[in-house]
Amino acid sequence: MSEDVQKLENEKLVLEESLSILKEKLEELTLLNKELLSEREADVNLEYSWSGNLGHWYWNVKTNSVVFNLKKITTLGYSLDEVPEKIPYDFFTNKLHPEDHEPTMNNMREHLKGERAVYEVEYRIKAKNGKYKWFYDRGKVTQRDQEGRPLFLSGIVFDITEQKQKEKKLNSELIRVKQQASIDDLTRIKSRRAILSELDERMLEAGLYKKPLVVAMFDIDLFKNLNDQFGHLAGDDVLRSIARVMNKNFRAIDSIGRYGGEEFIAILPYTTIEEAGKITNRIREKIAETKFIADYPVTISGGIALFDGDSREEFIQRADASLYKAKNEGRNRVVSE
C-alpha cells in the first residue's frame, strides 16, 4: 500500500471516529431537546421557589451523561474547572455517604426496572471540604425505547442540609424533653408516667410468656408528722434519700418510680411472690436502719401483688390493698396478698 493510500485510510478512520462522536452528541442533544420541549409544552415551571432548590438534572442513560444546574457543584465547594467536561452519573454517587450509597442505588435500580413509580431519595454527599451535605433528589424515566429500556431521566434536586440540621436539633430537644418527662423532678427516679408505661410492657410480656411479675407499693410511714415537725424541705430531703436507697438496693432488673406524694412503686419481673417478699423486706430494713434525720425514725410500709392477668388498675389496687393492710397492722412491714 502506497503512502498516499495509507494516509487516506488514516484520515478516513479519523473522520469516522469524529462522525461517531458527533452522532452520539447529536443523540444526546436530541433527547435533551425533546425533554425540554416536553416540559415547555406541559407548562412546567423550572424556576421553583422552594428553599434549597438547585434546579433540574437530566441523565442520558445510553451515554451516561448528566446535565444539571451547576449550583449543585458549587454547593459542594467545587469550581467549574475541577469537574470533567462530560459528567457521568457516578460522579455524584461515588461521593455518597457509605450509609446512603446502597439505598440510593437500589432506589434508582428499582425505578429503572419499573418497580418504583419515581426515583425519590434523601442522601448525603461528601463536599470538597470533607463534610457531608444533605440532598433531596426526585426524578423519573421520561423516555424509553421500543423494548421499554430507559433512555432518559429528568429530575430535580434540593439542598436540605439546613433542614436536616434543624431536624437533628429538634430531635435532640425532643429526646431531652422526653427524658425529663420520664424522670421525677424531686427524687430523680422514674416518673409516674414512665413507671406505669413500663408496667404495661412488663404485664404484656408476663402474659405472653407466662413469666411471674410482682408489683410493690410503698408509703413512708407518718410522713405528715415528719413534715409538720421538720418542714417540707426536710420532707423533700427524706423523699430523695429514700429514693436513692431504693435505687441502690433493688436488683438491676427491677424498676422503681415515684407514684405520687410519699408513695413509691416498684416492678419486679421474673419474680415469685416469695422472692419479692424477701427483696422488699430487705429494702424496708435498710431504710429503717438509715438515719435520714437525727434521732427521728423513718420507716416505710409496703404491699406486694402477683400479676394474674388482670388490668393495670386492678393489679396496682391489689398491691395497694396489701400496703394499707401493712399500715393497719402496725407499719414498718411488707404484706403480700
Q: What is the pLDDT of residues 197-248, one digit of tens each?
A: 999 999 999 999 999 999 999 999 999 999 999 999 999 999 999 999 999 9
> pLDDT digit string (tens) for 12-25?
555 556 556 555 65
For 82, left (φ over 0), alpha (ψ -120 to 50), or beta? alpha
- Known catalytic membership, residue 262: yes
Residue 41 in this model has a pLDDT that exceeds 80: no
**Per-residue confidence (pLDDT) for residue 5, from 0 to 100:** 52
How far are the Cα atoms of 163, 174, 180 from residue 169, in angstroms, in the given order?
10, 9, 17
**Per-residue confidence (pLDDT) for residue 80, from 0 to 100:** 82
**Per-residue confidence (pLDDT) for residue 178, from 0 to 100:** 75
Residue 321 in this model has a pLDDT that exceeds 60: yes
Q: Count CA within 13 A, CB hemisphere, residue 248.
A: 9
> pLDDT digit string (tens) for 302-319?
999 999 999 999 999 999
**Per-residue confidence (pLDDT) for residue 44, from 0 to 100:** 40
Tell me the β-bridge partners of 58: 67, 154
Contact 223, 229 (CB under 8 A): no
Contact 331, 229 (CB under 8 A): no
Q: Residue 144 and residue 285: Cα distance in Å, rounded?
A: 80
Please state, for a pLDDT cut of 90, what percent of the chain lies above it.
Answer: 72
Q: Residue 225 and residue 232: Cα distance in Å, rounded?
A: 11
Average pLDDT over residues 275-299: 95
**Per-residue confidence (pLDDT) for residue 183, from 0 to 100:** 93
Q: Residue 152 and residue 119: Cα distance in Å, rounded?
A: 13
What angle (nearest 5°) sits at the alpha carbon of residue 268, between those of residues 262 and 272? 125
Residue 333 in this model has a pLDDT that exceeds 70: yes
Residue 153 in this model has a pLDDT that exceeds 50: yes
The domains found in the chain, sorted by start residue, are 3-165 (3.30.450.20), 187-336 (3.30.70.270)
Output the pTM of the full model.
0.56
Residue from 17, 85, 262, 275 carrying the catalytic annotation = 262
Average pLDDT over residues 90-107: 96
Average pLDDT over residues 158-163: 92
Residue 27 in this model has a pLDDT that exceeds 70: no
Q: Which of 114-123, 175-184, 185-194, 308-317 has the lowest mean pLDDT?
A: 175-184
- Contacting residues for 285 by C-beta, under 8 A, at least 6 apart: none
**Per-residue confidence (pLDDT) for residue 1, from 0 to 100:** 53
For 314, left (φ over 0), alpha (ψ -120 to 50), or beta? alpha
Q: Residue 191 and residue 193: Cα distance in Å, rounded?
A: 5
Confidence band for 35, pLDDT divided at 50, 70 and 90: low
